[in-house]
Amino acid sequence: MTLASKLAEERRARLAAERLLELKQAELFAANRKLGKHAEKLSNEIVETRAEVNSVRTENQKVKSDLQVANEKIEIAERRLWLSIEAIQDGFAFFDADNRMIAANPSYLSVFDGLEEVTQGITYARLLQLLTDEGIVHIGDVASADWRKAMLDRWHRPTPPPVVLQLWNGQYIKLIDQRGHGGDIVSLAHNITDTVRYEAKLKKEQKRAEAASRAKSAFLANMSHEIRTPMNGVVGMADLLLDTGLSEEQRLFASTIKNSGEALLSIINDVLDYSKIEAEKLALRPEPFDLERCIHEVMTLLQPSAREKGVTLIVDYDLFLPTLFVGDPGRIRQVLTNLIGNAVKFTSSGHVMVRVVGEPHESTGKCEVHIAVEDTGIGIPEDKIGHIFGEFNQVEDDRNRAFEGTGLGLAITNRLINLMHGTIWVDSVEGKGSTFGFQLTLPVEEDLSLSPPALPDSVRKILVVDDRAINRSLLEKQMEQMGASVVVCASGREALENLKDIDLILTDYGMPDMDGLELTEALRAQGSDVPVVLLSSDPAVVQGDPSLGQSQGLLKKPVSRRDLFHKIAEATRVQDVLPVKDKIHSVVDASTLRQMRILAAEDNKTNQLVLGKLLKNLNIELRFANNGFEAVEAYSDMRPDLIFMDISMPKMDGKEATRRIRALENGTTVPIVALTAHAVDGDEEGILSAGLDHYLTKPLRKGAIMDMISRHQPKIAQNPFPPTDLKQSGT
Ligand code: ADP
């Protein structure tokens, strides 16, 4: 190899080495650059991580401080809770599911004062043991073990009922225990000593008040007796005086005495009733009664004052509603008298209408009866309606001041209806009128499956004549309900022009221009023989008129359904029936009958005089006995059909006399009616249990006396009521 080639080779080799070096340098450079980038990335990441670590550290610190605050708050709350629990007067303790005490406040622990073992961890059973062993609790006659067992049984119940313990020091503790989640029990020992003492005091007060109320009732009963007896004399004698020959002035004086006496008695009755209801002494006496008759009797009583003012009284008793119910007729009559009486009192023109509707339920045998008393009177201002049922409440205004009253009527009415489980309502427009309504559910005393009353077949078309539209429309409605076709006319003249095919005329008596009798005369004069039945609110006026004979009957308004149907049947059957005729005496020859025998036992001469006067016009044999002995004697001698028996008589009282009469009776029982000045219920029971059948309070009312006579009138005796007396019962 030449030098040159060697040099060339070396050069090549050097060049190659230089290239390799260059290459390696480039690689190294690239690697260095990559390393640089990686290092930069790493350093970036380190910076980020450090920031994160910082933020987590701050957060951690915040959470830590929050936790600390929360812990402090919990501590404060717990401290406060305990402070409160410790401060409360009542005992408070917690028990765990094993019935061990977790904690208790000083009040709770104070009961166990001095017993060191009563602390955290003590069981409830041990506490009970200590309560009895240490005599902390007063357990009466119960054996300690029994008492503890009962208390422990109670404790284990899911919701232990509260229990009251009496402690040795006279304090009363009510234990209220409540089971929480996880079986813990919270126990509250509530000191109720004050409440128990207050209750005892109240009971004592109540007893005292009841005693006072009894004393008040007794006082009222006595007072009523003391006032009623002389009032009987005053009212009765004034009544007698009015029947004697008096000058106009004397008559005025006597009737004022009578009216004032009656007003006083009605006030006494109101006050007495009210206090009886207040003292819950008023007992209802349900018995079968005729509601429709009861309403008509009340209407009859009020008719004179209504007539005086020209106010029409109307009864719209649903034709298909039963009339016999079981209820306390006396109290229902009192409610009706109050409501209808008020309606008449506060109405100066127009009408007072009593509507009775109801719904009998055959399944229960009861009927919901709705009675509404509607008037066209002064009405009640809207803002006063809410007050009128309160006691002594009257609507105070100029118009009302003209009316007398105690303001007790509606309060009594309201309470009576509540007592009968009914409801009362009122609807009124000032200046237009009022409607008072009440609802009672009463057992029905008649067969509900019986068919309602019907008109005779011959009566198909009826002419109703009345100048008052309300009367016309009521009769029209009733007759149409019965299946008749009805023509209504407002005057006699109009009636005379509408006679075509008429089978019956029902006409009002008192009409302007042509009255009912004149209409009848005109009919007969023109040859019509269509039966005419007259209706009058004051039949006594019509009765004496000879032309009444031309009509077929006279009815007293408001007319009851029974009377109306009876009269229509009679009028369309017989042409010349007298206006009023007693049924029995129309079929039995009166001459073969004896008089009804009545014995009246009454020691007081004034009362004898009053009774004698009341019965004077009756067709009866009347004998007086001055005491019980005489009454028994007279009974044996006379065998009366009815006895009126005064209760308080010297020598032998009415109860004893009745017992003796009952012992003498053989087979037939004589009805005996007690007459008494006592007005308290207890009396009534005593009297009825002595064997008397009925009970009447003095002063005696003619209506009540007549009612008794009418009820017990024997078939074998003559009619006690003279035929001229249209209505058997007076006022
Ligand atoms: P009294 O009638 O004895 O005043 P009530 O208790 O019966 O007492 O009635 C209370 C009041 O209610 C009456 O004084 C009267 O103001 C009012 N009132 C009762 N019924 C009616 C009526 N039908 N029309 C107008 N006001 C009446």
pLDDT at 389: 82
Local structure of 326: helix, strand or coil: strand
Q: Where are the alpha helices (DSSP H) in 409-515?
A: 409-419, 469-481, 492-496
Atom of ligand 1 nearest to the CA of 410: 6
Q: Do 397 and 289 sit in the same domain of this protein?
A: yes
Please tell me if the CB atom of residue 266 comes closer than 6 angstroms to any atom of ligand 1.
no
Q: Do 533 and 682 sit in the same domain of this protein?
A: no
Residue 325 Cα to ligand 1 middle (Å): 28
Are 302 and 313 in contact, with CB atoms under 8 Å apart? yes
Domain interval for residue 559: 461-590
pLDDT at 403: 63
Residue 725 Cα to ligand 1 middle (Å): 35
Is residue 274 in some structural domain?
Answer: no
Output the residue whose Cα is nearest ligand 1's atom 11.
Answer: 394
Are 351 and 469 in contact, with CB atoms under 8 Å apart? no
Output the residue whose Cα is nearest ligand 1's atom 21.
Answer: 342
- The CATH number for 384's domain is 3.30.565.10
Q: Whole-angstrom Cα distance, residue 611 to residue 646?
A: 11
Residue 378 Cα to ligand 1 middle (Å): 10
Number of domains in the chain: 5
Residue 267 Cα to ligand 1 middle (Å): 15
Q: Do 433 and 465 sit in the same domain of this protein?
A: no
Q: Which of 448, 483, 447, 484 is nearest to 463 (CA)?
A: 484
Please tell me if the CB atom of residue 534 comes closer than 6 angstroms to any atom of ligand 1.
no
Whole-number mean pLDDT of the chain? 85
Give the mutation target among 309, 313, 339, 346 for probing the ligand 1 site: most ligand atoms within 8 A of CB.
346
Are 105 and 91 in contact, with CB atoms under 8 Å apart? yes
For 213, other C-beta atoms within 10 Å of its C-beta total 15
Are 604 and 647 in contact, with CB atoms under 8 Å apart? no
Please tell me if the CB atom of residue 434 comes closer than 6 angstroms to any atom of ligand 1.
yes
Please tell me if the CB atom of residue 412 comes closer than 6 angstroms to any atom of ligand 1.
no
Percent of the chain with pLDDT strictly greater than 70: 91
Is residue 400 in some structural domain?
Answer: yes
Please tell me if the CB atom of residue 407 comes closer than 6 angstroms to any atom of ligand 1.
yes
Atom of ligand 1 nearest to the CA of 396: 16
Please tell me if the CB atom of residue 343 comes closer than 6 angstroms to any atom of ligand 1.
yes
Exposure b/e, 389-418, CB count within 10 A at least 16 = b = beeeebbeeeeeeeeebbbbbbbbbbbbbe
Q: Examine the fold and report which residue of 191, 221, 255 is the final residue of a domain before the chain moves on.
A: 191
Is residue 5 in some structural domain?
Answer: no
Q: Do 558 and 654 sit in the same domain of this protein?
A: no
For 104, other C-beta atoms within 10 Å of its C-beta total 25
pLDDT at 587 over 60: no
* Residue 406 C-alpha from the chain's centroid: 21
How large is the angle between the packed helices 248-278 and 193-242, nearest 10 degrees? 160
Please tell me if the CB atom of residue 378 comes closer than 6 angstroms to any atom of ligand 1.
yes
Atom of ligand 1 nearest to the CA of 338: 7
For residue 558, say if its preceding peptide bond is cis, omega within 30 degrees of 0: yes
Q: Do 530 and 514 sit in the same domain of this protein?
A: yes
Output the residue whose Cα is nearest ligand 1's atom 2.
Answer: 405
pLDDT at 177 over 90: yes
Is residue 31 in some structural domain?
Answer: yes
pLDDT at 275 over 50: yes
| Token reading at 701 | 């009312």
Residue 402 Cα to ligand 1 middle (Å): 12
Q: Do 63 and 134 sit in the same domain of this protein?
A: no
- Segment 628-650 shows an average pLDDT of 90
For residue 699, say if its preceding peptide bond is cis, omega within 30 degrees of 0: yes
- Segment 69-82 shows an average pLDDT of 91
Q: Do 353 and 497 sit in the same domain of this protein?
A: no
Q: Whole-angstrom Cα distance, residue 429 to residue 415?
A: 24
pLDDT at 731: 34
Strands 553-556 and 532-536: parallel
pLDDT at 576: 36
Q: Examine the fold and report which residue of 569, 590, 611 is the final residue of a domain before the chain moves on.
A: 590
Local structure of 486: helix, strand or coil: strand
- Read off the pLDDT of residues 485-507 as tens digits, 9 standing for 90 and up: 999 999 999 999 999 899 999 99
Strands annotated E in 291-394: 311-317, 324-327, 350-361, 366-375
Atom of ligand 1 nearest to the CA of 393: 10
Q: Do 288 and 413 sit in the same domain of this protein?
A: yes
pLDDT at 679: 56
| 298-301, long-range: CB < 8 A, 24+ apart | 298/333, 298/336, 298/337, 298/340, 299/340, 299/354, 299/558, 300/556, 300/727, 300/729, 300/731, 301/337, 301/703, 301/731
Please tell me if the CB atom of residue 489 comes closer than 6 angstroms to any atom of ligand 1.
no
Give the mutation target among 269, 309, 348, 388 for probing the ligand 1 site: most ligand atoms within 8 A of CB.
388
pLDDT at 452: 66
Q: Whole-angstrom Cα distance, residue 406 to residue 274?
A: 11
- Segment 64-69 shows an average pLDDT of 93
Residue 407 Cα to ligand 1 middle (Å): 7
pLDDT at 578: 34
Lowest mean pLDDT among 211-225, 450-464, 575-589: 575-589
Which residue has tokens 């040159």? Answer: 4
Output the residue whose Cα is nearest ligand 1's atom 3.
Answer: 405
pLDDT at 725: 41
Residue 341 Cα to ligand 1 middle (Å): 9
pLDDT at 546: 77
Exposure b/e, 568-580, CB count within 10 A at least 16 = b = bbbbbeeeebebb
Please tell me if the CB atom of residue 381 comes closer than 6 angstroms to any atom of ligand 1.
no
Q: Is the dihedral of CA 493, 494, 499, 504 positive or negative?
A: negative
Atom of ligand 1 nearest to the CA of 394: 14
pLDDT at 279: 63
Give the mutation target among 354, 397, 410 for probing the ligand 1 site: most ligand atoms within 8 A of CB.
410
Is residue 260 in some structural domain?
Answer: no
Q: Do 558 and 599 sit in the same domain of this protein?
A: no
Q: Do 432 and 319 sit in the same domain of this protein?
A: yes
Is residue 456 in some structural domain?
Answer: no
Please tell me if the CB atom of residue 375 comes closer than 6 angstroms to any atom of ligand 1.
yes
Please tell me if the CB atom of residue 335 comes closer than 6 angstroms to any atom of ligand 1.
no
Please tell me if the CB atom of residue 388 comes closer than 6 angstroms to any atom of ligand 1.
yes
Please tell me if the CB atom of residue 531 comes closer than 6 angstroms to any atom of ligand 1.
no
* Residue 252 C-alpha from the chain's centroid: 42
Residue 301 Cα to ligand 1 middle (Å): 19
pLDDT at 580 over 50: no
- The CATH number for 513's domain is 3.40.50.2300
Atom of ligand 1 nearest to the CA of 389: 6
For 371, other C-beta atoms within 10 Å of its C-beta total 24
Q: Do 436 and 290 sit in the same domain of this protein?
A: yes
Residue 607 Cα to ligand 1 middle (Å): 35
pLDDT at 456 over 90: no
- Read off the pLDDT of residues 56-66 as tens digits, 9 standing for 90 and up: 999 999 999 99
- Segment 170-190 shows an average pLDDT of 90
User: Does pTM surpass 0.75?
Assistant: no
- Segment 545-559 shows an average pLDDT of 84
Using 50, 70 and 90 to split pLDDT, how confident is the model at 579?
very low
pLDDT at 369 over 80: yes
Give the mutation target among 394, 398, 408 for probing the ligand 1 site: most ligand atoms within 8 A of CB.
394
Is residue 252 in some structural domain?
Answer: no
Residue 540 Cα to ligand 1 middle (Å): 31
Q: Whole-angstrom Cα distance, residue 488 to residue 507?
A: 10
Q: Do 619 and 566 sit in the same domain of this protein?
A: no
- Read off the pLDDT of residues 95-132 as tens digits, 9 standing for 90 and up: 999 999 999 998 899 999 889 899 999 999 999 999 99
Is residue 128 in some structural domain?
Answer: yes
Please tell me if the CB atom of residue 377 comes closer than 6 angstroms to any atom of ligand 1.
yes
Q: Examine the fold and report which residue of 174, 191, 208 is the final residue of a domain before the chain moves on.
A: 191
Residue 469 Cα to ligand 1 middle (Å): 27
